[in-house]
């Protein structure tokens, strides 16, 4: 009889310990990135171009920090994610609206199913596809190719999160707008989307934070450049691909951590905003 209660207690302790263990990798990652990366962070790090291996080797020998920064990566990441968002957000919201208005049609359920499948496609496969569609056609790596790869990754996430949010809206909202004589377009743009805004916005932020750290597809599509590039048809750097380049060059190893610190900070901020927005909706 007692044994049962002891077992129950032991189980609770086990649950608590193994749940708390999750903090260890997180703290370890953050500690590693911050403690190794903070030294390199300065204004230069955000504004200067990427150092070459030679400059870094000299700096390492003198024991000073590596000169230069990752401005091309930061601008490149922002540029490519912005282009991807410009395509994926309106498209995703519209398709999400379509799916939520046709819940029972067979065609809509096929689209829903396919976009779920699309969401599960590994990012490297999307990289290969865009490589064969865009990079081989234009005969050059480009920001455009990377943006399209990111678009394909963002699109299903935005579609599904929009649809899920719209499904939760009360039907009476739409009906009262229509009863007042508003057209469908007006109802969609002025009633439905605004009242679902926080949910849609959370979905968008989460999709942006997912793709901003994507490395594999960018290695196959945008490659990289050592200076800041705003031409959509030229190879462009991004923070994750720079981390990969630095990782493969022993002289630039210190840059790995500071770049990861920037990337991690951006992702965490995006996640934090998303969480705050979705919580304010729930309250």
Partner 1 sequence: MTDKIFKRLLFMLSLIVLFITAGMIYSLVSGALPAFRKFGIFNFIYSSEWNPRTETYGALPFIVGTILTSFLALIISLPFSLSIALFSGEYYKNSKFSKIISSFVSLLSGVPSIVYGLWGFYSIRPIIISLGISTNGLGILTSSIVLAIMIIPYASSLSSEFLEMVPANLKEASYSLGSTRLEMITNVMIPYASSGIFASYILALGRALGETMAVTMLIGNTNNIPSSLIDTSNSMASVIANQFGEADGLKLSSLIAIALLLMLITALINFIGKLIIKRFQ
- Chain residues 136-155 in contact with partner 1, contact rule CB under 8 A: 152, 155
- Out of 35, 42, 132, 276, name the contact with partner 1 by CB under 8 A: 132
Question: Of 56 and 126, which has the nearer Cβ to partner 1?
Answer: 126
- Out of 40, 77, 123, 198, name the contact with partner 1 by CB under 8 A: 123
Question: How far apart are CB 16 and partner 1 at their closest, in Å?
Answer: 7
Q: According to the binding rule CB under 8 A, does residue 276 interact with partner 1?
A: no
Contact predicate 206/165, CB 8 Å: no
- Chain residues 243-262 in contact with partner 1, contact rule CB under 8 A: 243-244, 247, 256-257, 260
Number of residues that bind partner 1 (CB under 8 A): 80
- Out of 219, 228, 252, 255, name the contact with partner 1 by CB under 8 A: 219
Phi, psi of 133 (to 5 degrees): -80, -50
Question: How far apart are CB 87 and partner 1 at their closest, in Å?
Answer: 10
Q: Using CA atoms, how far apart are residues 260 and 266, in angstroms rounded to an integer?
A: 10
User: Which of the 8 DSSP states describes residue 248?
Assistant: T
- Chain residues 175-204 in contact with partner 1, contact rule CB under 8 A: 183-185, 188
Contact predicate 147/78, CB 8 Å: no
Contact predicate 60/40, CB 8 Å: no
Q: According to the binding rule CB under 8 A, does residue 117 interact with partner 1?
A: yes
Helix (H) or strand (E) holding 29: helix 23-37
**In terms of C-beta density within 10 A (0-12 exposed, 13-18 middle, 19 or more buried), how is residue 111 classed?**
middle
Q: According to the binding rule CB under 8 A, does residue 12 interact with partner 1?
A: yes
């Amino acid at each position: 009889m007692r044994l049962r209660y002891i077992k129950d207690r032991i189980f609770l302790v086990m649950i608590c310990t193994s749940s708390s263990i999750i903090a260890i990798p997180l703290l370890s990652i953050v500690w590693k990135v911050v403690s190794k990366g903070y030294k390199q962070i300065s204004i230069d790090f955000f504004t200067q171009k990427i150092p070459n291996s030679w400059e870094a080797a000299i700096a390492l020998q003198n024991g000073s920090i590596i000169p230069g920064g990752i401005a091309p990566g930061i601008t490149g990441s922002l540029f490519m994610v912005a282009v991807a968002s410009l395509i994926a957000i309106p498209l995703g919201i519209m398709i999400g609206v379509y799916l939520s208005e046709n819940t029972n049609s067979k065609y809509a359920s096929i689209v829903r199913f396919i976009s779920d499948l699309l969401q599960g496609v590994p990012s490297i496969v999307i990289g290969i596809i865009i490589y064969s569609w865009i990079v081989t056609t234009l005969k050059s790596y480009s920001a455009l190719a990377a943006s399209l790869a990111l678009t394909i990754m963002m699109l299903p996430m935005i579609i599904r999160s929009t649809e899920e949010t719209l499904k939760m809206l009360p039907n009476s909202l739409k009906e009262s707008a229509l009863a007042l004589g508003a057209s469908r377009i007006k109802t969609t743009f002025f009633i439905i989307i605004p009242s679902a805004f926080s949910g849609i916005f959370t979905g968008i932020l989460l999709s942006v934070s997912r793709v901003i750290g994507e490395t594999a597809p960018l290695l196959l599509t945008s490659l990289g450049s050592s200076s800041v590039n705003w031409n959509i048809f030229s190879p462009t750097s991004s923070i994750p691909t720079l981390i990969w380049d630095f990782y493969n060059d022993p002289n630039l190893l210190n840059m790995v951590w500071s770049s990861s610190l920037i990337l991690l900070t951006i992702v965490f901020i995006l996640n934090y905003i998303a969480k705050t927005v979705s919580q304010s909706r729930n309250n």
